[in-house]
Amino acid sequence: MTEDILTIDEVAQYLRVSERTVYDWAQKGEIPSGKIGTAWRFKKSEIEKWVNERLGSKSRSSVMEAPVRVKNILSPDRIVFLTYSTKHDALVALSEVLATAPQVKNKEELTGEILMREDLMSTAIGRGIAIPHVRLASVTDLVMAVGISKTAVIDFQTIDDEPVRLLFMIAAAYDQHSYYLQTLSYFSGRLKNRELREALLAATGAGEVYDLLSRD
C-alpha cells in the first residue's frame, strides 16, 4: 500500500466519524473510493479535495442552527504572530496558545491530536490558509486560536502550492459535530475574500486581527 492510500479506519479517524459511516458512504458512492479485492481504499488527494469541497459548500448552512459568532469562540489573547517555517513548529506553538482557553482541559492531548491529524492529511485549504481542527472529549466547548505567520510555512502540502501564512486552529467538544462543521465552513468561505486575507497579513497587532475577524 502506498502512502497515498487510506483505509476505512484512517478515513474515519480523519473525519471523526465511525468506520460504519465511511463504509456506508463508500457503498453509496458518496465519498471517493475504490476496492482492492474486497477492501475499500481511499486516495488521500481525492479525500482531501472532497473534504475541502464540503467545507466550502454553502449548502451546509441549511442544516445548521445558530450562526457562527467569532466573539464567542475567539479572544485577542489567542491571536499570535508566528515566525516558524515548518508546520510542526507552527502547530505546536499555536496549540499551546489554544490550550490556554478554559474550554481546553488537556494540552498534551490537544497538541498530539492536532499533529496526528496533520500527519494523516493536510489541513491547508489553499490561498495560504490552514485550518487545523479536532474534536476531543477533553474540550468542553468550541474554541479557536489564530496564528498570523510572518514566515512562509513551506511544508503544509498545499493544494495550490502557496505557502501557509494564516492558521486558524479549532478545537470542539466531541458532541459538537454540526457546530464544528459549521465553523469550519464559515472560515473556509469567509477567507476566500482576498482583501480580508491581505488585511490580516498586514495587521500589526492582535487587536487589529480580532477586529477584522469579528466584523459581521
Domain that holds residue 92: 70-214
Residue 143 in domain: yes
CATH code for position 87: 3.40.930.10
Please tell me whether residues 33 and 109 are part of one structural domain: no
Residue 74 in domain: yes
Lowest mean pLDDT among 61-70, 82-91, 137-146, 175-184: 61-70
Please tell me whether residues 188 and 156 are part of one structural domain: yes
Nearest to 52 by CA among 185, 157, 174: 185
pLDDT band at residue 94 under the 50/70/90 scheme: very high
Please tell me whether residues 38 and 79 are part of one structural domain: no
Residue 63 in domain: no
Please tell me whether residues 135 and 173 are part of one structural domain: yes
Please tell me whether residues 50 and 97 are part of one structural domain: no
| Statement: residue 87 has pLDDT above 70 | yes
Ranges assigned E (strand) in the chain? 5-6, 34-36, 39-43, 79-82, 124-126, 129-130, 133-136, 143-153, 164-173
Mean pLDDT along residues 102-128: 91
The total number of structural domains in the chain stands at: 2
Amino acid at 200: L
pTM higher than 0.95, yes or no? Answer: no
Alpha carbons 122 and 145: distance in angstroms, whole number: 18
Mean pLDDT along residues 82-89: 94
Please tell me whether residues 123 and 192 are part of one structural domain: yes
pLDDT band at residue 3 under the 50/70/90 scheme: low
Please tell me whether residues 50 and 82 are part of one structural domain: no
Mean pLDDT along residues 147-155: 93
Q: Tens of pLDDT along 33-67?
A: 887 777 888 888 888 888 777 765 544 444 344 67
Please tell me whether residues 108 and 13 are part of one structural domain: no
| Statement: residue 211 has pLDDT above 90 | yes
Q: What is the pLDDT of residue 160?
A: 85
Residue 65 in domain: no
Q: What is the pLDDT of residue 56?
A: 58
Residue 62 in domain: no
Pair 75, 197: CB distance under 8 Å: no
Q: Which three cell numbers, joined as nine digits, stand for 29? A: 458512492
Please tell me whether residues 75 and 47 are part of one structural domain: no
Q: What is the pLDDT of residue 65?
A: 47
Please tell me whether residues 75 and 170 are part of one structural domain: yes
- The DSSP symbol for 148 reads E
Q: Tens of pLDDT along 111-123?
A: 999 999 888 888 8
Please tell me whether residues 39 and 81 are part of one structural domain: no
Average pLDDT score over the chain: 86
Query: How many C-beta neighbours within 10 Å does residue 180 have?
Result: 20
Catalytic residues: 133
Please tell me whether residues 44 and 98 are part of one structural domain: no
Q: What is the pLDDT of residue 121?
A: 81
